[in-house]
Structure 1
Amino acid sequence: MNANKALWEKGDFTQVAATMRESGEALVASIGVRPGMRVLDLGCGDGTTAVPAARLGADVLGVDIAGNLVQAGRRRAAEEGLANLRFEEGDACDLANLETGSFDLVVSIFGAMFAPKPFEVAREMVRVTRPGGRIVMGNWIPGDPTLVAQILKTSSAYSPPPPEGFISPMTWGVEANVVERFGTAGIAPGQITFLRDTYTFNFPGPSAQLVDIFRRYYGPTMNAFEAAEKSGRSEELRQELEALFDSHNRSSDKSRTSIPATFLRVTVQVR
């Protein structure tokens, strides 16, 4: 099986995505989605950004490599009666079933960054965007002190070494890499802008319970705990993550959790 597909089908990312809804809605509201606009949400999960884009009247296609998330997205669209929102299974590295220049806006928020072939991802995103359209990516930043970068850093410290040729998804959070990758797709540096932005995880329980959600449902953290179990270090990993989550919790009510996380927002103007 495709290793990336296996990773994201392993858990149930909808459990994590439920904590990200408010920020997803706020992000979509800020990127100029309009009625009738054709939008591709790449690595869409169960629709954290696809659903609010459809609510604004756009014609939205959500594509994700995880079949369970595609099914969850379809259920959300049906429950909300969003006939202008479709979900399909697909690979960000190869969108051969999508026509060239067919979208006004391509969005990928913490999605396409996890695909294993970043140069192919950049080329495909540019290819399916019409001239005059835009690409908006949200990418976690390597070494950033905020939550998700530290979760992934901590998890990798407990996990087996990656296979030969592995390119870390966190490299999408480095501006020079973004410029290089889109450059191979014909995008000049002046067509790319960068902004440090914030996504907030809101959870109706204490931070230790949110750690448990990541442990049970988030693929990278699940893998880290499986490896830690084998080496007798699972309790150490749990304590390290609980301390991390607790230190970042900004809720004044410690029976609830609100954790902001910085990310790199990339906007590409396609000509």
Structure 2
Amino acid sequence: MNANKALWEKGDFTRIAATMRESGEALVRSVGVGRGDRVLDLGCGDGTTALAEARLGADVLGVDISSPLVKAARQRADEAGLSNIRFQEGDACDLAGLENGTFDLVVSMFGAMFAPRPLDVAREMVRVTRKGGRIVMGNWIPNDPTMVAQLLKISSSYSPPPPEGFVSPMLWGVEATVTERFGAAGIAPAQISCLRDTYTFDFAGTSAQFVEVFRRYYGPTMNAFEAAEKSGRAEALRQELEQLFASHNKSPDHNHTTIPATFLRVTVQV
């Protein structure tokens, strides 16, 4: 199996996505999705932003590499009674079957950044966007002090070295790299803008319980714990993550967790 597919089919990312709904909806509103817009939501997961786009009247296609997440997204859309949205399995590196210039807007929040061939990802996003359309990406930032970047950094420190040729997904959070990748796809630097934005996780439980959700259901954290258990360091990893989550929890209620995380918001005018 494709290693990236295996990673995102491991566990149950819907448990994490459930804590991301409010920020996803707010982001979609800020993007300016219009009624009748043709939108591709790439790396859509179980539809956090895709359903919000459809509710604003867009004609939405959600694409994700994970079969279970595509199934979960279809179920959520059915339950919401949305007929202007569909989901299919697909790879952000190769959007075979999607014609050139199909979409007014391509959105990828923390999705396409994890695909293994970033130059192909940028090229494919540009290819399927119509001239005059837009691409909006949300990407975690390397070494950022907020929660997600630190979670991934800590997890990688307990995991085996990546395979030869591995390209860190966090490089999508570096403005110069973003400009270089879209430049290779034919986009001039003046057509690319980047700013720092905030995404908030909201969990109905303690920060330690939230760590346990990541441990049980989030592929990268699951892999880190599996490696840590083999080396006898699982307890050290748990303590480090619990300290991280607790230190970033902004909720005044000990039994609730609210954690903001900084990301790079990329907008490309095609």
Q: Pick the TM interval, shorter chain.
A: over 0.9
1:49 matched residue in structure 2: 49
2:257 matched residue in structure 1: 257
Q: How big is each residue's C-alpha offset from its partner over 1:186-205, in whole Å with a ceiling of 9 and x where there is no partner?
A: 00000000110000000011
2:128 matched residue in structure 1: 128
1:151 matched residue in structure 2: 151
2:162 matched residue in structure 1: 162
1:191 matched residue in structure 2: 191
Matched to 2:69, the amino acid is L
Q: 2:204, 2:5 → 1: CA distance? A: 29
Displacement of 1:236 in angstroms is 0.5
Displacement of 1:49 in angstroms is 0.3
Pair 1:92 & 2:106 matched: no
Q: How big is each residue's C-alpha offset from its partner over 1:111-133, in whole Å with a ceiling of 9 and x where there is no partner?
A: 00000000000000000000000
SS in 2 for 1:23: helix
Q: 1:86, 1:46 → 2: CA distance? A: 12
Matched to 2:107, the amino acid is V
Q: 2:7, 2:175 → 1: CA distance? A: 26
Pair 1:102 & 2:102 matched: yes
Any gaps of 5 or more consecutive residues in structure 2? none
Q: How much identity, in percent, do the aligned residues show?
A: 79
Q: 1:155, 1:143 → 2: CA distance? A: 13
Aligned residues: 270
SS in 1 for 2:247: helix
Displacement of 1:165 in angstroms is 0.1
SS in 2 for 1:247: helix
Displacement of 1:237 in angstroms is 0.3
Pair 1:66 & 2:61 matched: no
Q: How big is each residue's C-alpha offset from its partner over 1:2-27, in whole Å with a ceiling of 9 and x where there is no partner?
A: 00000000111000000000000000
Q: 2:166, 2:254 → 1: CA distance? A: 39
Matched to 1:179, the amino acid is T
SS in 2 for 1:45: coil
Q: 2:242, 2:132 → 1: CA distance? A: 45
SS in 2 for 1:49: helix
Q: 1:194, 1:149 → 2: CA distance? A: 18
Q: 1:126, 1:217 → 2: CA distance? A: 32
2:204 matched residue in structure 1: 204
Pair 1:27 & 2:58 matched: no
1:216 matched residue in structure 2: 216
Q: 1:32, 1:25 → 2: CA distance? A: 12
- Which portions of structure 1, spanning 4 or more consecutive aligned residues, are displaced by more than 3 angstroms? none
Matched to 1:246, the amino acid is A
Matched to 1:104, the amino acid is D
Q: 2:268, 2:159 → 1: CA distance? A: 34
Q: 2:11, 2:113 → 1: CA distance? A: 18
Q: 1:119, 1:245 → 2: CA distance? A: 33
Matched to 2:217, the amino acid is Y
SS in 1 for 2:26: helix
Displacement of 1:185 in angstroms is 0.6
SS in 1 for 2:60: strand
Q: How big is each residue's C-alpha offset from its partner over 1:57-116, in whole Å with a ceiling of 9 and x where there is no partner?
A: 000000000000000000000000111010100000000210100000000000000000
Q: 1:100, 1:63 → 2: CA distance? A: 16
Q: 1:234, 1:131 → 2: CA distance? A: 50
Matched to 1:142, the amino acid is P
Matched to 1:132, the amino acid is G
Q: How big is each residue's C-alpha offset from its partner over 1:150-173, in whole Å with a ceiling of 9 and x where there is no partner?
A: 000000000000000000000000
Q: 1:59, 1:77 → 2: CA distance? A: 13
Displacement of 1:254 in angstroms is 1.1
Q: How big is each residue's C-alpha offset from its partner over 1:204-239, in whole Å with a ceiling of 9 and x where there is no partner?
A: 111001000000000000000000000011010000
